[in-house]
Amino acid sequence: MKIVVTGGAGFIGSNFIFYMLNKYKEYEIICVDKLTYAGNLSTLKTVMDNPNFTFVKADICDRETIYKLFEDVKPNIVVNFAAESHVDRSIENPDIFLQTNIMGTAVLMDACRKYGIDRYHQVSTDEVYGDLPLDRPDLFFTEETPIHTSSPYSSSKAGADLLVLAYHRTYGLPVTISRCSNNYGPYHFPEKLIPLMIANALNDKPLPVYGKGENVRDWLYVEDHCKAIDLIIHNGKVGEVYNIGGHNEMKNIDIVKLICKELNKPESLITYVADRKGHDMRYAIDPTKIHNELGWLPETMFADGIKKTIKWYLENREWWEEIISGEYQNYYKKMYENR
């Protein structure tokens, strides 16, 4: 079995690679990553010498390179994590999000059509559903919830999802889509909420919180997400969408206060900043479908997962300090200039 994992040097993609290489000793994993600001090759250094792992530096929008890769590798499965994913960046520069998230997806699926594939899996987000009101805790996103996007980022992901489903209907491409809630865990890029708060707190820097911090997110430990995708690509029904949620709803401000408590830092570090444009209030996923069809349930409660995550950042300061300093972007050159 050969699996192409795009965006594998990023947060969720790298954790998926670690999980799959550990579980399936006979599988070959080919990681494709452009190594933009969020792609970090040093994240993958523990598997770089694994004979069943190959890293390819490439842009999924580069049709010629992607076609050559498929011709050479002949993958059985493609799992597409590659995406521009930071909402704030999408507000400042929407164009790159449309290019990577929609056109890149099209290139990958065209390659799948041309060279054959057993399964194409699109990793999407619950943000395509928009948001839910804070005063209706009984409401959840299901796979039938209409798409109602709020940002250029979520719009680009929704556009990609619709394209994937259209390729299935028009060309018969064997596809699946998963829409997950907010992930957290090891190797999370430190501009996102949880790693940013951990890094800033450890350095006694201000902890910037949007608005009043009342926004609610459903948090999913990254390894639980990887297990869900594993089930979907092997046993999920072709043409179906699966929601993956953590059943761990938390207000942003409560998470920041919890991190302060775990690190023994004062809450006086918390600084409230102007809210994000079009900021969604609440995300919450109903994962009943994936539970009933594939037997998946989240295994990690937030209270346990956040402790494990904080412990990882304490034990791996060099990894995130290199990112904050910008030094991590030189890692690819160090790894390959003498090869």
Point out the residues that are catalytic.
Answer: 126-127, 153
Question: 212: exposed, middle or buried (C-beta count within 10 Å: 0-12, 13-18, 19+)?
Answer: exposed
Tell me the CA end-to-end span of the chain in Å, nearest whole number: 28
**Cα–Cα distance between 79 and 83 in angstroms, integer?**
12
Please report the sign of the dihedral spanned by the C-alpha atoms of residue 53, residue 229, residue 76, residue 163. negative
Give the three-class secondary structure for 235: helix
- Beta carbons within 10 angstroms of residue 118's beta carbon: 16
Report the run of H or E that residue 115 belongs to, with start and end: helix 104-115
Question: 3-class SS at 178?
Answer: strand
Provide the token pair at 318. Answer: 């060099």
- How many alpha carbons lie under 13 Å from residue 45 in its C-beta half-sphere? 11
DSSP-derived secondary structure for 51-87: TTEEEEE--TT-HHHHHHHHHHH--SEEEE------H
Residue 140 main-chain phi, psi, to 5 deg: -140, 155
Alpha helices in 172-287 (DSSP H): 193-202, 222-235, 252-262
